[in-house]
Every structure is written in structure tokens, then in C-alpha cells.
Amino acid sequence: MIASKSLIAGSWEDGAGSSFTSYDPANEEKLGVHQGVEKSQVDRAVEGAASAYVIYKMFDFDQRAAFIEDVADEIEALGDELLETCHRETGLGIPRLTGERGRTCGQLRAFAALVREGSWQQARIDTAIPDRTPIPKSDIRRVLRPLGPIAVFSASNFPLAFSTLGGDTAAALAAGNPVVVKGHPSHPATSALCASAIEKAIEKNNLPQGLFSLLQGAEPSVSSELVKHPKIKAVGFTGSTHVGRILYDLGASRPEPIPVYAEMGSTNPLFILPKAIQNRLNKIARGLAGSITLGTGQFCTKPGLVFVLKSGDSDAFKEVLTQAIGDIQTGNLLNSGIKSGLTKKLDAYDHKKELTTIAGGAVNGGTLFSVSGSDFLENPELEEEVFGPVAILVECENIDEMLRAASRLGGHLTGTIHSDNDPESEALKTILEEKAGRIIYNGFPTGVEVCPSMHHGGPYPATTFAASTSVGTAAIERFCSVVCYQDAPDDHLPEALKNENPRGIMRLLNGQYTAEKVEA
Amino acid sequence: MIASKSLIAGSWEDGAGSSFTSYDPANEEKLGVHQGVEKSQVDRAVEGAASAYVIYKMFDFDQRAAFIEDVADEIEALGDELLETCHRETGLGIPRLTGERGRTCGQLRAFAALVREGSWQQARIDTAIPDRTPIPKSDIRRVLRPLGPIAVFSASNFPLAFSTLGGDTAAALAAGNPVVVKGHPSHPATSALCASAIEKAIEKNNLPQGLFSLLQGAEPSVSSELVKHPKIKAVGFTGSTHVGRILYDLGASRPEPIPVYAEMGSTNPLFILPKAIQNRLNKIARGLAGSITLGTGQFCTKPGLVFVLKSGDSDAFKEVLTQAIGDIQTGNLLNSGIKSGLTKKLDAYDHKKELTTIAGGAVNGGTLFSVSGSDFLENPELEEEVFGPVAILVECENIDEMLRAASRLGGHLTGTIHSDNDPESEALKTILEEKAGRIIYNGFPTGVEVCPSMHHGGPYPATTFAASTSVGTAAIERFCSVVCYQDAPDDHLPEALKNENPRGIMRLLNGQYTAEKVEA
């Protein structure tokens, strides 16, 4: 019933803009025609968010945490309907979607726990020194605080965990901000169901309905109006480099510029050093084949570039990897846009004289190309992300060539080193620290742990802000501002800065970390 | 001898670009004609910084701290020559410049201490859970790290503390980055002397000469080439909104966008509530007159907008304030650009029918205008910063009008509340939290403490990134990136993430703050 509707500050509405169609990726049958929103609906959603902000930012932290936990509970309460709807729209399969729902609810609960604990506010206190000469020192206290309405753009490849109620929404809500989601047009019914879950949690917690809106649509103008709205204070986006950059530029060129945190994909270079390949080529090849084809290669952390040093071992590795990729049954691609992009790229690579197709080559299975290290160095476009179960094996003549190739790379979300105490690993790591947000040893980049230490980011063009993460609890910082108070009376200070420290949070007090209260 | 030279990766050079002239602001006599750099010199400075980065980022933290302390020592070793040169170029006077030198060296030493202590790296560790089901949990560790070459643009109003070796340079060096400074054309000899101080510290510490460069010049093209250089990774700027926005836009529109942290000034609204004015109008008026005229009104935190509720008390306050401003002898303006800007603004305000000139009105002294609250609300341009010893007294009819005026404000560095338990202060504070980076109670915004809790920032147009500070030790974060390591061997981890925790820093270990080691 709500499958084609938008939720605008509490009201379920048909969009008044252009229509778009959703398909079943398994058979390309039409699932539904939906109405996208128009500008006046974008405006109402953002105005609703701005009104809700005034209430929500003052909401007690325990209540804020309970609300976010209720969102997770309401997602689970949707039961099989959510999984089946989502499978119909994405073809990702019930087991994978069950896992992704667990992750989505898990990260909401992790943010709720973070809010309740409270130390994420990075409270700092420097107490007064009234008798300091030549001038007295004031009491100064600094804390993170919410920003205002946040726009979140859903990704197609994680219809739950990076979509309507995914990581960015969870982080923004945890920081005390309302959210306006631009739903992905590949899974509108899934988005609407998730919106109905947060709608229930909002009602249960007596929060203002404007706290969350879902805008459906496929028109670029909807996205642009959302980013340009003067009351939007930051944007989270996961998707292509092309769209991410457009949105970033829109945010930066506003009269009041705002940060657009765009995670735009990555080719995730993986390096296998000689001793590692010698000792465990079968294990690495099989693991790698699984990582390349996981989710039909539609993970932003898919390893798309594999570097080896050419040798008898690397030839044997190539053989096992080729076989393993050929053996794996891949699933569907998420939508026709991804399919046509992949078809075009495979066709171009097929005609590229420097590349050899050594496994697959068709759009409905895993594909592996090979290229020499010198040809890789001369064809920088081979570093571009190919969305789908495709990788390029780069066979380097020697370690210098491998290190030169590593140095030539742009920014990626991850870089992986397989090393059995190989002496070259130290130099490689030093290069990769400048290129990737996460460096993985003897593993595979797919599978992003949601935890305080995770950094899912990386230098441009992987993301627009290398120091910001879109996965893990540190993501709360992207949706925070900062304020400091000078000589404020205790009853004017936010909880985190009060002398009593009622929540017992960790604070930097006169340069020392402590969870103690301040002696007044 | 070096007064008109640039320091380019260790070589003192005449610029090969356009010339510019420096003047003594006391008598407008010519001090010298200097050669600005051209593009090839910008390029060599940045290339030198990029080469130095590879060495400096690996430099042991104790050595990095000792180097930064040497920079402070070398500034002090310049003795009276620095103060006299600086006074000649700025007219700020030896006592003020002695204080500013103290602050400059103090903040360098504060950053050195921060580096040595080490907790600024925000280390986070989540240890592995190999037997977790359904999949094992990896060991993940996250840390702040340097970014690469940083461009710093000097301000004219703090020729030491916000200039060549000022806060941004100190923060960038502390984070492990090389710095290329674009010197302010108002004080080239001061900049060159400061550059000679860091040159000596670089030599003493056997660091690469490219670690620091000073580019002299007044041509916008030099600034633009510096920001656009692909090896520059972030920019710090203090100056006008006009130039700050140009540089921000240049940074955002690069093929690889970079953050331009621009601090662009602010009008620093100050609100005096009824009981406060009743109880201490003389004290507030005299303190405020001092704050408005301090440094001839050329502080970015000068209170330029003063809001009162019209009453007999406010009339008496106005009288004392008018008298106090008239009594204060102001100094020189820093340069002819500031002088002509102020002249133009005073002339425009003089002809504005809504404004009444109640004190001064000439460019060579303090000036106070008054305006009614309703006229202020109808003339949004009155919120613009006027650089110089000028303020506007806004006389509101009632508290609603005052709160409406507060709500209409844009972003500022500070907002001040004078309150003696006035009940309106809570509502005012809630509004100002959205408008200013620092909220001051019963004081004045000039005088920015350098400490961990200071936030010298604010919503646009005060700055381009509201969550970032340009004063205090938290400024180190603007020049940091982030990386995380997954299952890395201990000897590949940076010091902050090693099991042993050799520096004993505070870390977030499995969700708990601790300075303990990790049991391997």
C-alpha cells in the first residue's frame, strides 16, 4: 500500500514529480511504477526537519538512545515482509538480507549505546585561574553538538545497511539531527517499509514527525534541490564517483557551503608478496575468488586489482584463481544501470590489447583479466572501479615495478597486503598509508566490521573527506558541530560539561583524561 | 638583508613575479619594495614540501616535539630585532608585540607538548575475536596521521600569532606535515625573520629544508597557484570573507578537492540583559569600550553588535559607553586597505538614516552607532563585520525583538551574554549555540585563550568548517587524516597502536578508555 509513497514529515504521499519504475532484477519484470517527489515536497520535508531539530536536539540522551533502539526493534518487527520485499527488489537473497538486517539493527543499537555512554561528545574542560598574571584565565569548556537537518542518499548495493535506516541515518540521529533520506529508486518499497518502521518509533517516543522524511524519486533535480536547501547542514552519500562529485560540488557552491560526505567507490588494490604466494597460494586464491564475487562483485570494498610478482608460483596462483572464479555461481546484478555499465566495461576491456581475459568475460559470472605491470603503469584508466564480479591481475616483473604501481595509485577505501614476513611489506605499507583508509593484512577487504576502530573512508576519489568514516561509531563525528562556553554558569552548560559529570563520561580536564567530576 | 626575500625549500630568493610595497602604518612612509614570487617558485616550494613530508612524517615524536620547541627558541633568539621590525611594519607597539610573541612561542610549545604526550592521535583498538560466529572478528586499529603539505595564509592583524609561525603552522607541523606559508604583504620583513627562525631549527634538527617555505607576494595568482597545486592537501587561512571564500572555492573545485579552513571574521554579537545592565552598567560599558577598541578594533573577535533592551538603564549605559569610547586613544590601522575599507564603511553608515552616530565617526578613533531593534531587523547588512574600532548599539523595544534579532543572525566566532540570572538568558543561549563557536558569559570576546577547550570557529560565514578550530590544541585535527589497520603485525603498526603502548597514551580499547597496554 505504501510501496510507492514518500513519507514527508509524517504524511504518506504520492510524489508530485516524475514517475519511475522498479524491476525484479532476477527476471527484469516490472514491479511497480512510482511517483517521484517535486520541489515543494522536498521543501516540506526539510522544513519539517528544521522544526523537529529544535525539539530533538534537547531530547534527553537516554530517551534519544531508547528511540534509536525502538527504530531497530521496529525494523525487526517488519519480519519476513521486509526481507521478501527487499529480495524482490534487489535479488540479493534471503540469507544475505537476513544478515544485512542484523547489521542494520546492530549498528543502530551500537549508536544508541554510544549516545547513552556519552564520551563521544569529546568534552574538554579548562577551569579558571582567576589569579593568573598578567590576565586571569577564564573557565572554558568545549563539546560536540548536533548540526541540524541532514540529507542522506541511499545506496543500491546495501538496501538496508547503507540505505533508508543505514549507517549515515543512524549516525545523524545519534548526533541529535533530523534526517531527510533520498531513497534509491531501485528499491522504493524496501525504503517505504523502513520509513514506516521509524515512523512508528517516532510516534512511540512522542517525537515530532518531521524528524524523518523519505523522498522517493529518480530525477537528479530532486537530489539537487535537497542538497541546495538552505536548512540542510550536511549530506551523506554512498554511490558512484560521478554522482558523488556532482553532489559535493553542489554542497560546496551553496551560498553557505556544507560538507557532502560522499563515499564513491574504490578498486581496493591487493598485493601478494612472494613468500605469501609460495606458502599459501591455494588459500589466497580461493579466498580472493570469494571476495571478488561476493554479492556479485557489488561491494564498495571488492578487490578489483590484484598485484603479484611474476614467477612459477604466481603462474600456479593464476591457474587456481582462474579455476576458482569460474567455479563460483554469481547472483544477479542489482539493476539495469549496473548491468549496462558492466557490459560496456567488459566490452571495452575485451578489446583492450594490453588485457587478457583469463576467466569469464560475460556479464553473468566472475571475470578475471591479466595485464603486465608495465602495461598497467601505462594505462592509468585500469585503476577505475568496475562495479561487478571483475578483477584485474597485474603481473609485475619485479618489486620495483610493484612499488611504482602502488605509488601511482589514487585514493581507495582499502589496500591489502599478503605477506609472510616478506621484507617488501614495510615499503608497501608506507605507500598504502597515503592511498587507503584501511590496510588489511593477509585477508580480504570485503566485510566491513562495525566497531569503534573501523575507518571506512579514504583519500579522494574514494571519498570527499579522507578523515571521515561512513561505517563504525566514529561516523557520528561527521554530523557534529562544536561549541565552547566561557565562564558559563553550571546550569547553562550541556550535561557533558557540567561539574557533576552526571553520566561519568571521559573528559579532558585541564589536559588530563578523567571521568571524575570537577570540584566546583 | 632578507627583508624582501622568500625562503623556498632552503634557498633565500628574490621573487620573480610582481613587486609590492610595504609601508609604516604610523606615517604611511614607504618601508621597502619587495619582489613577489611567480608560479615556478610556488611549485618548487610545494615540491620541496612533498619531498620533506616523506622524511618528516616518520620522524620520532620526541624529535618532532624538540624541533617545534627549537622553532619557539629561535623566535625568542631573534630578540628585539623581531619586535622592532614588526612594530615598524604594523604599528602595533612593542608591548602588544611582546605579548603576541609570548603567545606565538607559547602555542608552539603547547603543540610540542601535545605531540610528546601523544593522546591527540585518538588511537582506537578493537582486538580480534577469532572464535566469533558466524564469522571471526579481525583485529582493527585506527589512528590519526598526517595529511601532506599544508598551505597557510598569514593574517595582517596578528603578524606573529596568526602569521608565518602562527597557530596554523604550529598545528600543521605538530600533526607531521610540511608547511608552505603565503606571507602577508603588509609585514614581509617580519615574515622573513620568522622564516629565518624555523630555517635554523630545521638545520639544527637535520630535517629536510623543504619542510618549510615562505612565499612573499601580493598577487592573487600566487595564492591561487598555491591552493591549486595538486600536492597541497589542506589550507589554513585567516582574513576577509571575500578572499576566504575565493580560496575555499578554489580548494573545492580542484580535480582532487581539499579542505580550505578559512576563518573569515565575525561581528561577535553581545547581548546585555536587564538585570546585568541594572547592576553593573558602568563596568560593562568600560569593559566593552576597551574590547571594541583593542588593537584598534582589528581583532576578529571584536564585539561589533551590542544589543540592549531600551530603558532608563540602557540610556545611562549608552552615555557611559559613548564617553568611554571617546576617551580611548586608538592606535594605527594596519594598512591602507583596511583604512580605505573603514573610511568607506563609516561614510556609508554616516549616510544611513537608520543609524545615529553617538561617538566618534572618524577613521582615527573609536566609533559607536545606534539603531533601533526594528531597523536592525530590516537592514540585514548591518550584521556585516566592520574592521576597525566600530560598533553598533542595537536598542530593542522588548525581549521578543531581541530574540528575533538573535535568531536572524548568521554565523559568528563568538556570542556574548551579560546576565545576572536574567531569565531570558536561557533562550538567548539556545539561539546562540546555533550561531557562534564560543559563547561568553559576562565577559568580552577579545582575548582568545590557547588551551585544549578553546574553539575559535563558528558557522559560515565566520568560517568554512564550523567544527574546526584555528586556536588551541584541537586545531591539530584539521591537518590530520585517518587510517585503520586490520590484522597488522605489531611491528607494522604506528607507535600509538602497538600492544605495548610505549608512550602510555589514552586509547579506546574494545570500547573502554585506557592508557594500559594490550595483552597480546
The verdict on whether B86 is a catalytic residue reads no
Q: Indicate yes or no: CB of B455 within 8 angstroms of CB of A484.
A: yes
The pLDDT value given to residue A362: 86
Going by C-alpha positions, the residue among B481, B467, B494 that lies closest to residue B150 is: B481
Q: Which residues pair with A508 in a beta bridge?
A: A124, A513
Tell me the DSSP string of B460-509. Answer: TTTBS-TT--SSSGGGGGGGEEEEEEES--GGGS-GGGSTT-TT---EEE
Q: Indicate yes or no: CB of A460 within 8 angstroms of CB of B256.
A: yes
CA distance A16 to chain B (A): 32
Distance between CA atoms of residues B293 and A226, nearest Å = 43
pLDDT in tens, A207-220: 999 999 999 999 99
Tell me the DSSP string of A134-162. Answer: SSPBPPEEEEEEE-S-EEEEPPSSSTTTT
CB B289 within 8 A of CB B317: no
* B466 touching chain A per CB within 8 A: yes
pLDDT in tens, B243-283: 999 999 999 999 999 999 999 989 999 999 999 999 999 99
User: 3-class SS at A411?
Assistant: coil
Distance between CA atoms of residues B93 and B101, nearest Å = 12
pLDDT above 70 as % of chain A: 99
* B95 touching chain A per CB within 8 A: no
The pLDDT value given to residue B346: 94
Distance between CA atoms of residues A136 and A486, nearest Å = 13
pLDDT in tens, A444-465: 999 999 999 999 999 999 999 9
Q: Indicate yes or no: CB of A486 within 8 angstroms of CB of B141.
A: no
Q: Indicate yes or no: CB of B482 within 8 angstroms of CB of A465.
A: no
Distance between CA atoms of residues A468 and B481, nearest Å = 8
* B465 touching chain A per CB within 8 A: yes
* A137 touching chain B per CB within 8 A: yes
Residue numbers in B near A441 (CB within 8 A)? 485-489, 492
- CB atoms under 10 Å from CB of B216, counted, come to 31
Residue of B465, B474, B487 with shortest CB distance to A440 = B487
| C-alpha distances out from residue A416 to A152, B56, B147, B298, Å | 29, 25, 21, 52
> What does DSSP say about strands B356-359 and B412-418: parallel, antiparallel, or unpaired?
unpaired
Cα end-to-end distance, chain A, whole Å: 59
We find that the CATH architecture of domain B6-20+31-126+137-264+469-478 is: 3-Layer(aba) Sandwich (3.40)
pLDDT in tens, B219-243: 999 999 999 999 999 999 999 999 9
Average pLDDT, chain A: 96
Q: Which triple of cell numbers denotes residue B415?
A: 556570542
Is the pLDDT reported for residue B190 higher than 60?
yes
The pLDDT value given to residue A28: 87
Going by C-alpha positions, the residue among A404, A403, A405, A472 that lies closest to residue A437 is: A472
Is the pLDDT reported for residue B4 higher than 90?
no
Question: Residue A155: what residue type?
Answer: A
Going by C-alpha positions, the residue among A196, A192, A186 that lies closest to residue A24 is: A186
Among B38, B263, B395, B401, the active-site one is B263
pLDDT in tens, A354-405: 999 999 988 888 999 999 999 999 999 999 999 999 999 999 999 999 999 9
The verdict on whether B300 is a catalytic residue reads yes
Question: Residue A212: what residue type?
Answer: F
* A460 touching chain B per CB within 8 A: yes
The pLDDT value given to residue A520: 77
Residues 52-81 of B with CB under 8 A from A: none
The pLDDT value given to residue B361: 85
DSSP A61: H
* B249 touching chain A per CB within 8 A: yes
CA distance B519 to chain A (A): 17
Q: Indicate yes or no: CB of B440 within 8 angstroms of CB of A487.
A: yes
CA distance A156 to chain B (A): 24
* B480 touching chain A per CB within 8 A: yes
Going by C-alpha positions, the residue among B66, B58, B53, B161 that lies closest to residue B109 is: B66
| C-alpha distances out from residue B367 to A346, B295, B357, Å | 71, 14, 8
Question: Residue B34: what residue type?
Answer: H
Backbone angles phi, psi at A16, to 5 degrees: -105, 15
Is the pLDDT reported for residue A1 higher than 60?
no
CB B41 within 8 A of CB B51: no
Is the pLDDT reported for residue A164 higher than 80?
yes
* A242 touching chain B per CB within 8 A: no
- CB atoms under 10 Å from CB of B170, counted, come to 30
Residue of A485, A492, A508 with shortest CB distance to B452 = A508
Q: Where are the domains of chain A?
A: 38-129+142-264+469-478, 269-441
| Segment A498-518 mean pLDDT | 97
CB A482 within 8 A of CB A498: no
> What does DSSP say about strands A305-309 and A356-359: parallel, antiparallel, or unpaired?
unpaired
Peptide bond into A188 cis (omega under 30): no
Residue numbers in B near A135 (CB within 8 A)? 447
Residue B175 CB partners (closer than 8 Å, separation 6+) = B144, B146, B147, B476, B479, B480
| Segment B405-417 mean pLDDT | 98
Query: Exposure string (b/e) for A445-469, b if CB count within 10 Å is 16 or more?
Result: bbebbbbbbbbbbbbbbbbbbbbbb
Distance between CA atoms of residues B255 and B259, nearest Å = 13
* A480 touching chain B per CB within 8 A: yes
Is the pLDDT reported for residue B93 higher than 80?
yes
User: 3-class SS at A324?
Assistant: helix
Residue of A451, A484, A487 with shortest CB distance to B140 = A451
Distance between CA atoms of residues A493 and B433, nearest Å = 11
Residue numbers in B near A465 (CB within 8 A)? 259
| C-alpha distances out from residue B71 to A90, A157, B170, B202, B212, Å | 59, 51, 9, 8, 11
The pLDDT value given to residue B2: 55
The pLDDT value given to residue B210: 98
Going by C-alpha positions, the residue among A371, A451, A455 that lies closest to residue A412 is: A455
Q: Which triple of cell numbers denotes residue A158?
A: 546495501
* Residue matched to cell numbers 545611562: B316
Q: For the purposes of burial, counting CB atoms within 10 Å of the CB of A80, is it exposed (0-12), middle (13-18) or buried (19 or more)?
A: exposed
Q: Which triple of cell numbers denotes residue A144?
A: 560536540
The pLDDT value given to residue A199: 98
Distance between CA atoms of residues A127 and B445, nearest Å = 17
* A146 touching chain B per CB within 8 A: no
| Contacts across the A-B interface (CB distance below 8 Å) | 186
Residue numbers in A near B454 (CB within 8 A)? 126, 140, 142, 484
CA distance B21 to chain A (A): 34
- CB atoms under 10 Å from CB of A10, counted, come to 16
Residue of B257, B439, B487 with shortest CB distance to A464 = B257
Residue numbers in B near A148 (CB within 8 A)? 434
Residue A319 CB partners (closer than 8 Å, separation 6+) = none
Residue numbers in A near B455 (CB within 8 A)? 142, 482-484
Q: For the purposes of burial, counting CB atoms within 10 Å of the CB of A113, is it exposed (0-12), middle (13-18) or buried (19 or more)?
A: middle
* B433 touching chain A per CB within 8 A: yes
Angle at A132 between CA B505 and CA A135, to 5 degrees: 115
- Give the full edge-to-edge strand order of the sheet including B260-263: B11-13, B6-8, B212-215, B179-182, B150-153, B234-238, B260-263
Is pLDDT larger for residue B335 or for residue B1?
B335
Residue to substitute from B141, B413, B451, B453, interface A, most A β-carbons within 10 A:
B453
CA distance B19 to chain A (A): 33
Among A194, A300, A396, A480, the active-site one is A300
Is pLDDT larger for residue A331 or for residue A413?
A413
DSSP B155: P
CB B475 within 8 A of CB B454: no
User: 3-class SS at A487?
Assistant: coil
Angle at A161 between CA A156 and CA A162, to 5 degrees: 45
Residue B312 CB partners (closer than 8 Å, separation 6+) = none
Q: Indicate yes or no: CB of A426 within 8 angstroms of CB of B492.
A: yes
Number of H helices, E strands in chain A: 14, 21
Residue of B126, B252, B486 with shortest CB distance to A441 = B486
Is the pLDDT reported for residue A4 higher than 90?
no
Q: What is the CATH number assigned to the segment(s) B269-441?
A: 3.40.309.10
CA distance B371 to chain A (A): 27
User: 3-class SS at A240?
Assistant: coil
The pLDDT value given to residue A2: 55
Residues 383-422 of B with CB under 8 A from A: none
Q: Indicate yes or no: CB of B455 within 8 angstroms of CB of A142.
A: yes
CB B464 within 8 A of CB A511: no
Residue of B253, B481, B489 with shortest CB distance to A466 = B481
pLDDT in tens, A278-321: 999 999 999 999 999 999 999 999 999 999 999 999 999 999 99
The pLDDT value given to residue B520: 77
Residue B307, H or E segment: strand B305-309
- CB atoms under 10 Å from CB of B179, counted, come to 26
Residue of A449, A464, A506 with shortest CB distance to B140 = A449
Residue of B259, B438, B467 with shortest CB distance to A486 = B438
Query: Exposure string (b/e) for B324-360, b if CB count within 10 Å is 16 or more?
Result: bbeebebbbbbbeebbebbeebbeebeebeebeebbb
Q: Which triple of cell numbers denotes residue B475?
A: 586545531
Q: Which triple of cell numbers denotes residue A121?
A: 561528545
Domain A38-129+142-264+469-478 has CATH 3.40.605.10: yes
DSSP B129: B
Distance between CA atoms of residues A146 and B433, nearest Å = 10
Is the pLDDT reported for residue A195 higher than 60?
yes
Among A74, A89, A263, A385, the active-site one is A263
| C-alpha distances out from residue A292 to B12, B61, B203, Å | 53, 40, 50
* B125 touching chain A per CB within 8 A: yes
* B447 touching chain A per CB within 8 A: yes
Residue of A119, A440, A460 with shortest CB distance to B513 = A119
